[in-house]
Amino acid sequence: MSAEPSPRRSDATRAAILDAARRRFAADGFRRATIRSIAADAGIDPSMVMRYYGSKDGLFAAAVDVALDLPDLGEADPATVGELLTRQFLVLWEQPPTDEILLTLLRSAVADDAVVEKIREVFAGQVTPAVLRFGAPADAPRRAGLVVAQLFGLALTRYVLRLPPVVALTPAEIVKEIAPTIQRYLTSAG
Amino acid sequence: MSAEPSPRRSDATRAAILDAARRRFAADGFRRATIRSIAADAGIDPSMVMRYYGSKDGLFAAAVDVALDLPDLGEADPATVGELLTRQFLVLWEQPPTDEILLTLLRSAVADDAVVEKIREVFAGQVTPAVLRFGAPADAPRRAGLVVAQLFGLALTRYVLRLPPVVALTPAEIVKEIAPTIQRYLTSAG
DNA sequence: CGAGTTTGCCAACAACTGTTGGCATCCACG
DNA sequence: CGTGGATGCCAACAGTTGTTGGCAAACTCG
C-alpha cells in the first residue's frame, strides 16, 4: 500500500507515540488520555505528537486505524458457527494488537459520537453481511443485533467493568455457556 | 425518610439543578457534562451548584443516589423467572427516573473507576443474592455474571450505541428472544 | 567541509475546567 | 419597621488541556 519506500529517521519515534497512545487510550479512554501523558510514556515532547499526527483526533484515528476485518464465516459449518464466532471473538479481545484497539473503541464509544458511528459502520458493513446466510436475509439485521448484544455484553462485563465472576470464566467455559446462545440467535426465525 | 419538614425557599433551585444534572450526565457522561452547562440548563449560576452540592462529585452522587433496588425475585416462579427479570429490566431502562440514572451509570462507568466500583457493589450485593436460589449456591456468582453480561449487552447496544436493529426491537420481541437465554443462564449447572 | 532539512525541546498561548470569595437582593421574623 | 440569614450573581483564581512558534542540535547530501 505504501508507495514511499523512504524510511525516515523519525519512524521509531512515530511508532513509540502510536504504541503509547494505544495503551493510554485503552487504559483511560479518549478524554482522560492526554497528549502530555502519551508523550511522557513515549519519552518525547508533546509537541512531537502534534507534528507527526496533526492533532489529538488525528492521533486517535491513527491508533484505531487497523484492519478490523472480522473472520470470514462464509465457509463455516452452519451447525457450529456459533462456537466458531465465540472463539474468534475471544481471540480478538485477548490478543495483541486488536485487544487494546477494541478496548479503546468500546471505552471511547460512550463518550464520543464519532466512535459510536464507527461501530455502527462496522456493524452494518461487516457483522450483518456475515450473518446474512444463516437465515432469512430480511431478518439478518435483527439476528446480527442479538448476536452483538450478547457478545458486547460479554466484552463490557469482562474487559471494561471486570466483574470478578465474568473475569474468572475460562475461554472454554465461555464457549460452553455463550456459544449456544449465539448459535440460537444466528439461526432463529423472526 | 426526611426528618426535616422545613421547606426551604431554594428547593425549586435544588430540584432544577438535579434535574438538569441527570439529563446532562445521561447525555454526555461525567467528564463532558460540565457544571457550567448544567447550571445553564437549570437557569442559574454555576456557583449555586457548588453551594448546594459541594462539588461536582457531590452533585454526581446526588444525581445517581436513588433506590436502585432490583425487583425481589424471592417469590418468583422458577420456571418463568427469566421472563420476569427481562421485563423488569426493560422497565427500569425505559421509564423515568431510573432510565436516565442507569444510562448515566453505564456511560460514566467506562471513564470512572469509582462508578465501576459502584456497579460491582450492586452486582455483588443485589444481583448475586437474587440469583442464589435458582441453582447451586456456590455457582451463583457465575450464573449472575452470565445474566448480567447478556442484559448489559442489551442495554449497551440499545441505549448507548443505539444500533438500529436493536433499537427497533419491541419489548415483546426482546422478551421472546432474550428471556429464554436469561432463564437458561439462571438455572444452568456449573 | 558546508548548506539545508529533519528532529527534538522549551516556553508560551488561549480556552476551558472546578472552585472560591465578595457583594447585592430578597424574604422571614422580631 | 429593620435586622439577619438565605439566595443569587459576578468576577476571579489556579490548574489542566490542546496547540503553536521559535530555536538548538543532529543528520543528509552536495
The dihedral through the CA atoms of B106, B112, B116, B119 has a sign that is negative
Q: Give the SS3 label for residue A110.
A: coil
Please provide the size of chain B in residues: 190
At CB < 8 Å, which residues of chain A contact B? 29, 31-32, 106-107, 109-111, 116, 119-120, 123, 128, 141-142, 144-146, 148-154, 156-158, 160-166, 168-169, 173, 177-178, 181, 184-185, 188
CB contact under 8 A, B152 and A156: yes
Q: What domains, with CATH codes, occur in chain A?
A: 7-63 (1.10.10.60), 78-187 (no CATH)
Write the residue in A116, A145, A154 that is nearest to B149 by C-beta. A154
Q: Is B7 left (phi over 0), alpha (psi -120 to 50) or beta?
A: beta
Which pLDDT value is given to residue A4?
Answer: 47
Question: In Å, what is the CA distance from B6 to each residue of B9, B74, B160?
Answer: 9, 38, 40
- Residue B61 C-alpha, separation from nearest chain A C-alpha, in angstroms: 19
For B68, the grid coordinates are 436502585
From the list B144, B157, B173, which residue is nearest A152 (CB)?
B157
C-alpha neighbours within 13 Å on the C-beta side of residue B17: 26
Q: Give, for all 190 residues of chain B, the pLDDT tens digit.
A: 444 445 677 889 999 999 999 999 999 888 889 999 999 999 999 999 999 999 999 999 999 887 666 667 777 888 899 999 999 999 999 998 889 989 998 988 877 777 888 889 889 888 898 898 888 999 999 999 999 999 999 999 999 999 999 999 999 999 999 999 999 999 987 6
Q: Rounded distance, CA B95 to CA B190, Å?
A: 35
Q: Which one, of B21, B52, B25, B26, lies nearest residue B39 by Cα? A: B21
pLDDT at position A3, please? 43
- The residues of chain A scoring below 70 in pLDDT are 1-7, 67-71, 190
Grid coordinates representing A167?
A: 473475569
Q: Which residues contact B84 (CB under 8 A, 6 or more apart)?
A: B71, B73, B76, B77
Residue in chain B nearest A114 by alpha carbon: B161
**Residue B182: CB partners within 8 Å, gap ≥ 6?**
B82, B83, B85, B86, B147, B150, B151
Nearest CB to B141: which of A157, A165, A177?
Answer: A165
User: Which alpha helices (DSSP H) does chain A contain, by range?
Assistant: 11-32, 35-42, 46-53, 56-64, 81-94, 98-109, 113-122, 128-131, 140-155, 164-168, 171-187
How far is the CA of A6 from the CAs of A2, A3, A9, A52, B13, in angstroms? 10, 9, 9, 16, 64
pTM, two decimal places:
0.87
Q: What separation in angstroms does the CA of B107 have from each of A4, A52, A170, B64, B155? A: 42, 32, 27, 12, 11
Please give, chain by chain, protein residues whose CB is below 7 Å from any atom of strand D.
A 9, 33-37, 46-47, 49-50, 55-57; B 8-10, 12-13, 43-48, 51
Q: What local confidence, expressed as pLDDT, does residue B10 receive?
A: 80
**d(C-alpha A190, C-alpha B15), whole Å:** 45
B29: left (phi over 0), alpha (psi -120 to 50) or beta: left
Cα–Cα separations (whole angstroms), residue A126 to A56, A86, B87, B113: 27, 16, 31, 32
- pLDDT at residue A67 in the model: 64
With cell 442507569, the residue in question is B102
